[in-house]
Amino acid sequence: MVIWLVGLSGSGKTTLGREMARQWRSVQANTVLLDGDEVREVFAHDRNNDAYTVAGRRTNAERLVALCELLDRQGINVVCCILSLFPDMREANRSRFSRYFEIFMDANMDALKLRDTKGLYRAASAGTQHNVVGVDIPFPRPTSADLIISSSGDCPDIVALARRTLEQAGAR
């Protein structure tokens, strides 16, 4: 099974994904976490000039989907945290994996700018960072997510949220 967490930078994908993977792994050891930023680093894709352009983001997303598919075919559960900019890829995921559950971490831009965990939004506002999704690259909001989590407010009890989310995904 693949659980796909979608959302803009700072929306809480990785925070929730890490806890979900930890809990899922405690009952099914064949569980891995794939994070878009970490996969970029593994493939040194974060060092290319075009890494954060739409084309570069597509390359990274294709790698993540391929890794998820490889793991899924081997019976390994995956929690994948990815900005997921491409609706066509999200739609294809529904038939590509043995089981697929999509979660949209929905945070408004005001909350993301306040949180700004990576400094992306400040840098984009200052004009020193380009190709920031939600600022100068449009983010097509998921329209068929299996679960939408509003993540604009304060951080919830992440352990409880992960438990409830895994139950809704049927991963328990």
CA–CA gap between residue 104 and residue 151 (Å, rounded) = 9
Q: What's the pLDDT score for residue 37? A: 86
Q: The domain 2-169: what is its CATH number? A: 3.40.50.300
Residue tagged 């139950």 (tokens): 167
Residue 133 DSSP label:
B
CA–CA gap between residue 12 and residue 45 (Å, rounded) = 22
Q: What's the pLDDT score for residue 144? A: 95
Cβ neighbors of 77 (< 8 A, separation 6 or more) are 1, 2, 3, 24, 28, 30, 31, 32, 71, 171
User: pLDDT (tens digit, 0 to 9) for every residue of the chain, 172 residues total?
Assistant: 999 999 999 999 999 999 999 999 999 999 999 998 888 888 887 777 788 899 999 999 999 999 999 999 999 999 999 999 999 999 999 999 999 999 999 999 999 999 998 899 999 999 999 999 999 999 999 999 999 999 998 878 999 999 999 999 999 7
Which of 9, 11, 26, 84 is flagged as catalytic? Answer: 84
Is 84 tagged catalytic? yes
Ordered by start, the domain boundaries in the chain are 2-169
Residue tagged 């890794």 (tokens): 67
Q: What's the pLDDT score for residue 153? A: 87
